[in-house]
């Protein structure tokens, strides 16, 4: 560096020298510091090297100790393995000897089983041959049984037809018996009795032995059980439907159009199924004749449908039908189709009298003309709404009156063409169409029919040309006999029960008098027997439908009903009278 101009070079160099010396001293100080640090690092390095040497020795010692331990372990494991191998060899020898024995035993048992299988196969073959022989014999027996069954059914039908013919000739009362199933109220509810007696009350004691026999198991405490049997024209068990019941009733309806009066009467204790048999099930205390399940309909709606079906097969205008509904309540007769001045149906008391011909008649009784089954059932339903009912311990909807539904069929027979050809009959019917217009319209009251002694001029003219033949179908739902102690009735209901039992007793007395052929039959002892005099006394084909309860609880009442049916079968009233029913002859 050149000295600047104006400055002393010596001072410059001196200053420069001082700076260099300062730098030299700083470097030397730095060297001393570094040497000091280097010495300290050498000391630490020597210390660490000593530690590393000691660690290396310890590691070598550890490796040596572990190697010895592994040697010891390997030697003990080898010893254990040798022992285990020895044991396995011993077990293997044992298994080998066991396998040999097992193989021998298996071969021996295989031979035994093979012999047994061969013997079983031979036995099966023998059994198959025997089975084939048995099947052939069974088939032959089935054919024989079928032939015998067919012969039995044919003979049974012949016997039944002959029996029915005998019943017709003797005028016997047909008696059918229906046993209802056990129901929830049969558990003797409402009675303070022991559980053992309650179980006995719910026990079934009445059975249908076959389709003509009722079997009743009668037992008393401390006595042996006795079986009693009752024979009837038909017996229905507790599983038979309304269809089966009506199938045996339907033939009587054909007799109705052939000129015979017909009466179907349900008899039995309270709660035995009379109203169900005659009318059908109750829905909330009312009868539903339009229920979807027609299989539940009773005899009355089914008989109505059948009658109108039979009428539909006849010439139009040759029949008309009237209906009346009465109840016998407390020995009084009530008209259930009477109407007030506003046309509203109400119940009114009527009386029963005996006509000059000896027939029973109810003056002023309302007769409604109906054209089909729906109209008929509508009127019957109106009448049923007025029927007296009262709940008891035996039946929640107990009927307290006898119901008599009468269906009167008037057959129009043209009198001018007897013995003429069928074409002449048709022509006569066309000429007399105007006459048919004079017949009753929708409502007929027997008051107007019986109060006037002469007919109108038109009716007189009609009576010269036609003849009217009336036949009646009486459908009777009797009130149930009941034990006061069991039904628990008091007050007015007790009075009702007294009248019911007395009227049923009067009915039994009438049948007894007819069976014994007494000169006097006490029809007038009760309004019920007086009303049913024509039906019970022999002017009609009479069917009594006994309804009984199967439980031990009602054994006394069931026996009484069966006894009534047995006495009714013994009644011989003479052959039922057919109305004078001339028929025109057809052209040859």
Residues in the chain: 588
Which residues are within 8 A (CB) of 523 and not within 5 positions of it... i.e. 6 or more apart? 360, 510, 529, 530, 533, 536, 537
- What's the angle, vertex CA 528, arms to CA 525 and CA 532, rounded to 5? 105
Q: How far apart are CA 401 and CA 414, in angstroms?
A: 41
Ligand-binding site membership of 411 (annotated): no
Ligand-binding site membership of 274 (annotated): yes
Helix (H) / strand (E) containing 410: strand 402-414
Q: How far apart are CA 513 and CA 511, in angstroms?
A: 5
Residue 479 zone, left/alpha/beta (φ > 0; ψ -120 to 50; rest): beta
* 182 neighbors 583 (Cβ within 8 angstroms): no
Coil vs helix vs strand at 573:
coil
Among 260, 262, 221, 214, CA closest to 237:
214
Instruction: Tell me the sheet residues that pair with 207.
Output: 215
* 382 neighbors 287 (Cβ within 8 angstroms): no
Ligand-binding site membership of 560 (annotated): no
Ranges assigned E (strand) in 219-292: 226-231, 234-236, 261-268, 282-283, 286-287
Ligand-binding site membership of 577 (annotated): no
Sign of CA dihedral 179, 184, 187, 191: negative
Q: How far apart are CA 398 and CA 274, in angstroms?
A: 11
DSSP letters for 14-50? HHHHHHHHHHHHHHHHHHHHHHHHHHHHHHHHHHHHH
Ligand-binding site membership of 537 (annotated): no
- To the nearest 10°, report the CA torsion of 220, 222, 226, 230: -10
Ligand-binding site membership of 270 (annotated): yes
Alpha helix (H) residue ranges in 224-273: 242-257
Q: How far apart are CA 71 and CA 80, in angstroms?
A: 14
Q: How far apart are CA 527 and CA 330, in angstroms?
A: 9
* 507 neighbors 476 (Cβ within 8 angstroms): no
Ligand-binding site membership of 275 (annotated): yes
Ligand-binding site membership of 269 (annotated): yes
Q: Could you list the residues known to form a binding site for ATP, using ranges.
A: 268-275
Q: Could you list the residues known to form a binding site, using ranges.
A: 268-275
């Amino acid at each position: 560096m050149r000295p600047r101009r104006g400055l002393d070079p010596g001072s410059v160099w001196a200053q420069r020298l001082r700076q260099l010396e300062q730098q030299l001293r700083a470097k030397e100080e730095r060297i001393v510091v570094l040497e000091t640090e280097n010495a300290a690092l050498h000391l630490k390095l020597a210390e660490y090297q000593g530690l590393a040497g000691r660690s290396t020795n310890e590691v070598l010692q550890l490796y040596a100790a572990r190697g010895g331990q592994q040697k010891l372990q390997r030697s003990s494991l080898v010893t254990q393995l040798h022992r285990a191998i020895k044991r396995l060899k011993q077990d293997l020898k044992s298994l080998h000897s066991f396998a040999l024995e097992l193989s021998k035993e298996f071969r021996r048992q295989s031979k035994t089983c093979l012999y047994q299988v061969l013997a079983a196969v031979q036995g099966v073959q023998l059994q198959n041959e025997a089975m084939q022989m048995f099947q052939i014999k069974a088939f032959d027996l089935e054919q024989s049984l079928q032939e015998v069954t067919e012969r039995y059914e044919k003979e049974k039908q012949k016997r039944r037809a002959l029996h029915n013919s005998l019943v017709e000739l003797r005028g016997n009362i047909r008696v059918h018996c229906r046993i209802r199933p056990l129901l929830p109220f049969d558990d003797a509810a409402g009675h303070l009795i022991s559980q053992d007696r309650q179980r006995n009350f719910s026990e079934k004691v009445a059975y249908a032995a076959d389709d003509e026999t009722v079997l009743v198991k009668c037992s008393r405490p401390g006595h042996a059980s006795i079986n009693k049997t009752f024979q009837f024209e038909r017996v229905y068990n507790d599983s038979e439907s309304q269809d089966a019941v009506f199938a045996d009733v339907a033939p009587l309806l054909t007799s109705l159009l052939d000129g015979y009066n017909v009466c179907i009467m349900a008899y039995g204790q309270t709660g035995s199924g009379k109203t169900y048999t005659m009318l059908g099930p109750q829905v909330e205390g009312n009868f539903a004749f339009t229920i979807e399940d027609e299989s539940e309909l009773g005899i009355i709606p089914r008989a109505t449908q059948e009658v109108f079906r039979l009428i539909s097969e006849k010439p139009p205008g040759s029949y008309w039908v009237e209906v009346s509904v009465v109840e016998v309540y407390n020995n009084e007769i009530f008209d259930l189709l009477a109407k007030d001045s506003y046309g509203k149906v109400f119940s009114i008391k009527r009386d029963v009298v005996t006509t000059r011909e000896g027939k029973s008649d109810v003056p002023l009784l309302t007769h409604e003309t109906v054209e089909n089954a729906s109209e008929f059932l509508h009127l019957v339903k109106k009448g049923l709404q007025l029927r007296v009912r009262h709940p008891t311990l035996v039946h929640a909807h107990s009927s307290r009156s006898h119901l008599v539904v009468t269906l009167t069929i008037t057959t129009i027979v043209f009198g001018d063409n007897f013995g003429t050809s069928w074409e002449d009959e048709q022509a006569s019917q066309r000429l007399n169409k105007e006459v048919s217009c004079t017949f009753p319209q929708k409502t007929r009251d027997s008051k107007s029919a019986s109060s006037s002694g002469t007919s109108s001029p038109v009716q007189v003219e009609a009576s010269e040309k036609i003849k009217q033949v009336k036949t009646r179908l009486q459908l009777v739902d009797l009130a149930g006999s009941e034990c006061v102690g069991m039904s628990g009735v008091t007050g007015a209901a007790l009075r009702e029960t007294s009248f019911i039992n007395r009227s049923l007793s009067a009915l039994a007395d009438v049948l007894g008098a007819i069976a014994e052929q007494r000169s006097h039959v006490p029809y007038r002892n009760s309004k019920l027997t007086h009303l049913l005099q024509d039906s019970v006394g022999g002017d009609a084909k009479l069917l009594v439908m006994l309804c009984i309860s199967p439980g031990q609880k009602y054994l006394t009442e069931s026996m009484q009903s069966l006894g009534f049916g047995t006495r009714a079968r013994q009644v011989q009233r003479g052959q039922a009278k057919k109305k004078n029913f001339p028929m025109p002859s057809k052209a040859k």
